[in-house]
Amino acid sequence: MKNLKDYTYEELEQLVKEELGEPKFRAKQIFAWLYRGVTSFDEMSDLSKSLREKLKSAYTLGNLTIAEKYVSSIDETRRYLLQLDDGNFIESVLMKYHHGYTICISSQVGCAMGCAFCASTRGGKVRSLSAGEIIGQVMAVQQDLGEKISNIVMMGIGEPLDNYDAVWRFLQIVNHPLGLCIGHRHISLSTCGLVPQIKRLAEEELQITLSISLHASSNETRSKIMPVNRRYPIEELLDACRYYIEKTNRRISFEYTLIQGVNDTPEEAKALLKLLKGMLCHVNLIPVNPVAETGFKQGDRKSIENFQHILEQGGIAATIRREMGTDIRAACGQLRAAKGKEK
Ligand code: SAH
């Protein structure tokens, strides 16, 4: 069975013509129903019964099952454990801001990147998600919420650029006027720094916000906490970032997880300043969130604010990311592709 949500609009047109032998406008009808959130083919009321039967026999709507839902008592953040068709689990997080709802979605079951501070990589990578499974997260959570989600961050489990094709198709579907109609400017994609894919993405000239997980200002420290740095060191990564900015004219957001005694000294802040000077960028500081196996700790509030202050003084905009949903293990780096590992 094929998941109809795996297809971009153009691919669906082709499928309708070539595999179903139907006129092109059927694709328009089917596509629109998919993202209106129908849960059965019988709800596609403007299709003939015979076409609906044909669809049922070979395709699925790719609906994900909500296995568990946790709601934070601090800030209403919701963490969803979603089950895929093959029995695997992923997590998505819904955050409420004054400007609307943002969903944080996963791109893989597990992750192969091995960052020392992150829970998502503990069991390695099981597999990549399809485009339909990525968009299925938005659909499932939106349906449960009963309201429209306005922003998407690809910052959940997995490395999105290690699943380039599916992520690219997802970006086509989500942006389509008959799809979810969420503009690329409302979408952020975060990567640990896969240089060739960053360059490829630059060439697509999309209007999404690129976030780079930097987390250190020297190769020595970065390689210790992020194995990817041994392959693509900081200089190469920043070259790729400059290329991205040149192609898209978009400001890059650098994520910097502050870990006590590892990368949070004033010297590190000054070195970071030097690295980023003159770039069209912004730094998002994330006080490290607890992950049982790592033992990493946050420094005190003063040291975090001091780090921010040094960057700002040097002319780089820096914000401290608000922690959300820590009581339900929904914060950055706390998501896992497994059931039953609560807290
Ligand atoms: N693989 C992508 C997407 C993950 S995004 C990437 O690496 O960018 C999640 C963000 O949270 C990344 O910046 C990641 O480095 C950061 N993160 C991971 N574990 C964390 C933790 N324990 N505390 C705070 N941030 C963490």
**343 residues of the chain, pLDDT tens digit each:** 999 999 999 999 999 999 999 999 999 999 999 999 999 999 999 999 999 999 999 999 999 999 999 999 998 899 999 999 999 999 999 999 998 999 999 999 999 999 999 999 999 999 999 999 999 999 999 999 999 999 999 999 999 999 999 999 999 999 999 999 999 999 999 999 999 999 999 999 999 999 999 999 999 999 999 999 999 999 999 999 999 999 999 999 999 999 999 999 999 999 999 999 999 999 999 999 988 888 899 999 999 999 999 999 999 999 999 888 889 999 999 998 877 654 4
- Of the candidate CATH numbers 3.40.50.920, 1.20.210.10, 3.40.190.10, 1.10.150.530, the domain formed by 2-60 belongs to 1.10.150.530
Q: What is the CATH number of domain 78-342?
A: 3.20.20.70
Q: Which part of the chain is CATH 1.10.150.530? A: 2-60
Instruction: From 115, 121, 213, give the residue whose CB has the most ligand 1 atoms within 8 Å, as the site to mutate.
Output: 213
Looking at residue 280, the DSSP 8-state letter turns out to be S
Which residues, at least 6 apart from 99, have a Cβ–Cβ distance to it below 8 Å? 150, 151
Question: Residues lining ligand 1, judged by CB closer than 6 Å?
Answer: 113, 115, 117-118, 155, 159, 190-192, 213, 255, 257, 286, 288-289, 291, 332-333
Q: Which two tokens stand for residue 4?
A: 């109809």
Q: Which helix (H) or strand (E) holds 79?
A: strand 78-83
Q: CB under 8 Å to 103, separation ≥6 — which residues?
A: 92, 93, 94, 95, 137, 138, 141, 142, 149, 151, 152, 153
To test the pocket of ligand 1, the residue of 103, 154, 155 to mutate (highest count of ligand atoms within 8 Å of its CB) is: 155
What distance in angstroms lies between residue 214's CA and the mean position of ligand 1's atoms? 10
Q: Where in the chain is the domain with CATH 3.20.20.70?
A: 78-342
How many other C-beta atoms can be found within 10 angstroms of the C-beta atom of residue 60?
Answer: 16
DSSP tag of 162: G
CA distance 313 to 284: 15
The catalytic site residues sit at: 91, 332
CA of 118 to the centre of ligand 1 (A): 6
Tell me which of 106, 113, 118, 226 to substitute to probe ligand 1's pocket, judged by most ligand atoms within 8 Å of the beta carbon: 118
Ligand 1 centroid from CA 116, angstroms? 10
